[in-house]
């Protein structure tokens, strides 16, 4: 084709997955900028950027100065770049219960009497379910060839499982994060409505919301710490003791004593529907705020150019906090240190966090600068959030997802950058590798856009999806700020280069950053975001779950 018609088709083609985006020019992302910014942000002067510290305040001020220079639109509180993040220590008084009906018999199990609700159980409400599924070990572990949910749809279902230690086919020590995350996986990934698991000797990982269990601070005592709304709806996720299981499974095809015996031995467990059974969860708790503290997200926007799209956003995120410094004597067993102490480096008292997440922080700065200062701008607006408190429990991102300046239903996707400056385990063979987590879980189209963006680069990276596997031992999908957005239904991609010997150690320093690799990954995130921002529709949310994981590499 020639002339004007050819041009129209060329522009239209650029908005399809494989074509270049009109705004995509990552050449303005320079290694020299990344090095300069990171050298300051990961210096001893900032004292490890711990949440609530002066060092984190200095980092926030530094980022704000750059955003002002590049003329991003402030999107924090009161017309500024800072969003106050309220972090609350909370004590719970629970009146919650589960009413179980089996045939014509009914029993009520109150919180603390046969069942245990999480202390952060959300707002008052009542949920009745008559579809109850016994799901064996409640485990989706494809790497171990174990899937208790194969062929099952859990939408509208209450899932019940046994076996705190998991089956013999799964190494309980290496797979502890996977086993502890079973309830969360069933709720978030498989769309169950409620989950009941066994009472265990160790504290299970929280399904959603705040970090922390019971704690004390002098005269204060509290049950959990949260940056989320306490009245939000939280899917019921409880632990149950023998009496509850004996009644619930009283008419099951296999009775509880036999199921418990098999689970204790790690032997195979059946799965089956519980017929003529219903569960009513009554969630009723009072929350007492014991203490409130504040930290800050840094938030800026590059406005889009299309009148019909500029009120929707592609969100980019990284966390700019780290774990701080040692303010007391460090003993031989590491007591007194905020993280790990590398052998031979005991005199280094600052945890600089150059890779975690200084690398993501400066990558986000470079992307913001490129979009703000290198026209043409894309059609959709671009949201940049430097989250605080990630190391303490995703505080900044959870708070933004609840109360941010941009409603979640206007964010078409979120691209999170956390630890992108090294090679996993310092393996030189991974010089071209970046790990992608979550890209296909909520939107296949988002996954395809990212792959097309990588293919368009002068030096494409090797995309590895191993950490996207549901049985990934590190459970990376749940461990960084993207998860706060995914939990609200926003399609996400988590970009990371994985863990290494200096993770959370006092030797995570600028001298060990692979700046060429950091630059290449930053340009990939930029190109992905540019393509998303120029799509004439949001990436389709098909919620097909992880398919590019399960140990694959592409």
Number of domains present in the structure of the chain: 2
Buried b (16+ CB within 10 A) or exposed e, 105-142: eeeebebeebbbbbbbbbeeeebebebbbbbbbbbbbe
pLDDT category of residue 550 using cuts at 50, 70 and 90: low
Which of 283, 303, 333 terminates a domain? The answer is 283
387-408: average pLDDT:
97
More confident residue, 219 or 256: 256
pLDDT category of residue 335 using cuts at 50, 70 and 90: confident
Is the pLDDT reported for residue 163 higher than 50?
Answer: yes
pLDDT tens digits, one per residue of 19-29: 455 544 688 99
Alpha helices in 154-209, H assignment, sequence order: 176-180, 182-188
Pairing status of strand 433-437 against strand 492-496: antiparallel
Instruction: Tell me the percentage of the chain whose pLDDT exceeds 70.
Output: 91
pLDDT recorded at residue 177: 93
**Is residue 249 domain-shared with residue 152, that is, in the same domain?**
yes
Tell me what the pLDDT averaged over the chain comes to: 91
340-367: average pLDDT:
96
Is the pLDDT reported for residue 295 higher than 70?
Answer: yes
CATH of the domain at 138: 3.50.30
**Is residue 131 domain-shared with residue 263, that is, in the same domain?**
yes
**Is residue 79 domain-shared with residue 111, that is, in the same domain?**
no
More confident residue, 17 or 431: 431
**Is residue 80 domain-shared with residue 166, that is, in the same domain?**
no
**Is residue 426 domain-shared with residue 515, that is, in the same domain?**
yes
C-alpha–C-alpha distance, residues 377 and 215, integer Å = 49
Is the pLDDT reported for residue 216 higher than 70?
Answer: no
377-394: average pLDDT:
98
Q: Is residue 17 part of a domain?
A: no
For residue 295, how far is the Cα from the chain centroid? 19
Distance between terminal CA atoms of the chain? Answer: 35
**Is residue 267 domain-shared with residue 297, that is, in the same domain?**
no
> How much is the pTM?
0.92
pLDDT recorded at residue 215: 55
Strand partners, 220: 217
Contacts of 399 (CB under 8 A, 6+ apart): 83, 85, 86, 87, 227, 228, 297
123-146: average pLDDT:
94
Q: Is residue 30 part of a domain?
A: no
CATH of the domain at 332: 3.40.630.10
pLDDT category of residue 8 using cuts at 50, 70 and 90: very low
Instruction: Tell me the percentage of the chain whose pLDDT exceeds 90.
Output: 84
More confident residue, 353 or 218: 353
pLDDT recorded at residue 207: 36
Residue 235, domain extent: 96-283
Q: What is the DSSP letter of 354?
A: I
Q: Is residue 299 part of a domain?
A: yes
**Is residue 273 domain-shared with residue 357, that is, in the same domain?**
no
Is the pLDDT reported for residue 210 higher than 60?
Answer: no
C-alpha–C-alpha distance, residues 15 and 320, integer Å = 33
pLDDT recorded at residue 14: 39
pLDDT recorded at residue 386: 99
Q: Is residue 311 part of a domain?
A: yes
Residue pair 196/161 in contact (Cβ under 8 Å)? The answer is: yes
Q: Is residue 153 part of a domain?
A: yes
**Is residue 153 domain-shared with residue 64, that is, in the same domain?**
no
Question: Which bin fits 392, alpha (ψ -120 to 50), beta or left (φ > 0)?
Answer: alpha
Give the total residue count for the chain: 554
Q: Is residue 389 part of a domain?
A: yes
Of 138, 187, 183, the residue nearest 163 (C-alpha): 138
Q: Is residue 190 part of a domain?
A: yes
pLDDT recorded at residue 25: 63
pLDDT tens digits, one per residue of 66-94: 999 999 999 999 999 999 999 999 999 99
Is the pLDDT reported for residue 17 higher than 80?
Answer: no
Whole-angstrom CA distances from 222 to 50, 110, 125 are 22, 21, 23
Q: Is residue 545 part of a domain?
A: no
C-alpha–C-alpha distance, residues 191 and 184, integer Å = 10
In 3-state terms, what secondary structure has residue 167?
Answer: coil
**Is residue 448 domain-shared with residue 497, that is, in the same domain?**
yes
267-294: average pLDDT:
98
**Is residue 226 domain-shared with residue 185, that is, in the same domain?**
yes
Angle ∠(366,371,375) on CA atoms, nearest 5: 135
**Is residue 413 domain-shared with residue 481, that is, in the same domain?**
yes
Which of 231, 259, 283 terminates a domain? The answer is 283
**Is residue 361 domain-shared with residue 454, that is, in the same domain?**
yes
342-352: average pLDDT:
94
Instruction: Write out 358-385 in H/E/C secondary structure.
Output: HHHHHHHHHHHHHHHHCCCCCCCEEEEE
Which of 283, 316, 341 terminates a domain? The answer is 283
- Residue 191 CB-density burial (10 A; 0-12 exposed, 13-18 middle, 19+ buried): middle
pLDDT recorded at residue 554: 52
């Amino acid at each position: 084709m020639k002339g004007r018609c050819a041009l129209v088709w060329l522009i239209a083609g650029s908005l399809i997955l494989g074509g270049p985006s009109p705004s995509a020019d990552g050449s303005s992302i320079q290694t020299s900028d990344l090095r300069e910014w990171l050298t300051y942000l990961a210096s001893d002067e900032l004292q490890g950027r711990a949440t609530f510290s002066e060092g984190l305040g200095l980092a926030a001020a530094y980022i704000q100065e750059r955003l002002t220079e590049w003329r991003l639109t402030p999107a924090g509180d009161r017309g500024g770049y800072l969003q106050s993040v309220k972090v609350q220590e909370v004590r719970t008084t629970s009146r919650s219960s589960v009413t179980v009906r089996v045939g014509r018999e009914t029993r009520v199990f109150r919180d603390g009497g046969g069942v245990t609700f999480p202390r952060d159980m959300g707002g008052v409400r009542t949920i009745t379910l008559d579809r109850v599924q016994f799901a064996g070990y409640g485990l989706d572990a494809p790497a171990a060839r174990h899937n208790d949910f194969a062929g099952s749809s859990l939408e509208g279902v209450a899932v019940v499982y046994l076996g705190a230690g998991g089956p013999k086919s799964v190494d309980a020590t290496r797979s502890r994060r996977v086993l502890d995350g079973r309830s969360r996986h069933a709720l978030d990934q498989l769309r169950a409505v409620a989950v009941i698991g066994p009472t265990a000797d160790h504290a299970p990982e929280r399904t959603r919301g705040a970090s922390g269990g019971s704690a004390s601070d002098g005269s204060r005592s509290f049950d959990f710490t949260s940056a989320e709304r306490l009245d939000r709806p939280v899917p019921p996720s409880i632990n149950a003791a023998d009496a509850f299981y004996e009644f619930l499974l009283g008419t099951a095809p296999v009775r509880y004593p036999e199921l418990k015996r098999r689970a204790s031995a790690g032997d195979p467990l059946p799965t089956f529907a519980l017929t003529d059974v219903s569960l009513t969860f009554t969630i009723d708790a009072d929350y007492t705020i014991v203490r409130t503290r504040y930290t800050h997200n840094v938030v800026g926007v590059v406005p889009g150019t299309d009148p019909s799209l500029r009120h929707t956003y592609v969100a980019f995120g990284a966390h700019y906090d780290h774990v701080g410094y040692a303010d007391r004597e460090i003993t031989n067993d590491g007591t007194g240190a905020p993280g790990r102490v590398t052998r031979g480096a005991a005199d280094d008292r600052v945890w600089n966090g150059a890779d975690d997440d200084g690398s993501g922080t400066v990558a986000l700065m470079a992307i913001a600068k490129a979009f703000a200062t290198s026209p043409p701008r894309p059609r959709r607006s671009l949201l940049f959030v430097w989250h605080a408190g990630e190391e303490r429990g995703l505080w900044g991102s959870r708070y933004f997802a609840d109360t941010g300046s941009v409603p979640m239903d206007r964010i078409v996707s979120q691209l999170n950058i956390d630890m992108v400056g090294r090679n996993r385990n310092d393996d030189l063979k991974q010089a071209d590798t970046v790990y992608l987590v979550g890209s296909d879980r909520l939107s296949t189209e988002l996954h395809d856009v990212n792959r097309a963006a990588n293919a368009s680069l002068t030096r494409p990276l090797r995309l590895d999806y191993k950490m996207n596997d549901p049985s990934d031992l590190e459970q990376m999908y749940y461990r960084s700020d993207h998860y706060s957005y995914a939990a609200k239904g926003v399609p996400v991609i988590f970009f990371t280069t994985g863990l290494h010997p200096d993770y959370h150690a006092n030797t995570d320093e600028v001298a060990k950053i692979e700046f060429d690799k950091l630059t290449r990954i930053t340009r990939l995130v930029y190109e992905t975001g540019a393509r998303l921002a120029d799509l004439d529709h949001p990436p389709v949310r098909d919620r097909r779950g992880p398919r590019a994981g399960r140990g694959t590499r592409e």
